[in-house]
Amino acid sequence: MPRIVDAEQRRRELAAAVWRVIRRDGVTGASVRAVAREADTSMGALRHWFATQDALLRFAMLLVTERARARIEAVVGDGPLLPSHVLAVLEETLPLDDERRAEAEVWLALVARALVDPDLAALRDRAAADLHGLCSAVVVALTEAAEEPLGVDVPLEAERLYAVLDGLALHALTRPAALPADRARAVLEAHLAGLRGTPSIVPPSERGNGR
């Protein structure tokens, strides 16, 4: 009997090979030949799924967003975004473990490539809009759950939360020794506490720990 190939699974396996090459050799090293070698397949077999390097890179970038979205949906489930979900949901956007660090490294490399690749730029902008929408939903969920009106400017606070996430992700990725996972969580928790109008929950020993 011929082996049945799961097309989507195979594409994801090949995208994972692209990730490994990008993390090791950079985007310029992620040629069809290099990826085929990494995936232990022939160039002809690889081109059956991805005709060009550009197609490979687009799918590799799309996979980053799909994986993050799947984790967020697993936290929230079928219901609305609740205040109890907020911290766990936002943590899924940060490189706080090996899996998310790999995603962030690939994402950062492909965002740089997006400066000269309109298709990657479109994926970048779509992901940015999704993250901004998530930030807005978080702000709304927290303010609606408050016992007293907080008078929050939702669009402004959504932009501020987006900037916090962006900054934490970049620093956790590029300066992991200076911003380990626990410290990144503490900063995020402190920001959310301020948004709720509650005292900061960052331990006193962590405050003022400038870098």
Query: Given this model, what pLDDT does residue 198 score?
Result: 58
Other beta carbons within 10 angstroms of residue 187's beta carbon come to: 19
List the domain boundaries for the chain.
Answer: 60-201
pTM for the complete prediction? 0.84
Task: Kindly state the average pLDDT of the residues 192-196.
Answer: 87
Tell me how far apart the alpha carbons of residues 190 and 200 are, in angstroms, rounded to a whole number.
5
CA gyration radius for the chain?
A: 20
- Listed in sequence order, the DSSP H helices in the chain are 7-25, 32-38, 43-49, 53-76, 86-91, 98-114, 118-145, 154-174, 181-196
Query: Given this model, what pLDDT does residue 199 score?
Result: 46
SS3 131: helix
Its CATH architecture, for the domain 60-201, is Orthogonal Bundle (1.10)
Given a contact cutoff of 8 angstroms between Cβ atoms, the answer to whether 120 and 61 are in contact is yes
Please name the residues in contact with 192: beta carbons below 8 A apart, sequence gap of 6 or more: 86, 87, 90, 142
pLDDT tens, residue by residue, 32-76: 999 999 999 999 999 888 888 899 999 999 999 999 999 999 999
Q: Is pLDDT at 208 greater than 60 in this prediction? A: no
Instruction: Report CA torsion sign: 31, 113, 14, 91.
Output: positive
Residue in this structure with the two tokens 């989507």, named with its chain if needed: 8
211 falls in which pLDDT band (50, 70, 90)?
Answer: very low
SS3 206: helix
- Per the model's pLDDT, the better-predicted residue between 48 and 149 turns out to be 48
Mean confidence (pLDDT) of the chain: 88
pLDDT tens, residue by residue, 122-141: 999 999 999 999 999 999 99
Query: Given this model, what pLDDT does residue 26 score?
Result: 93
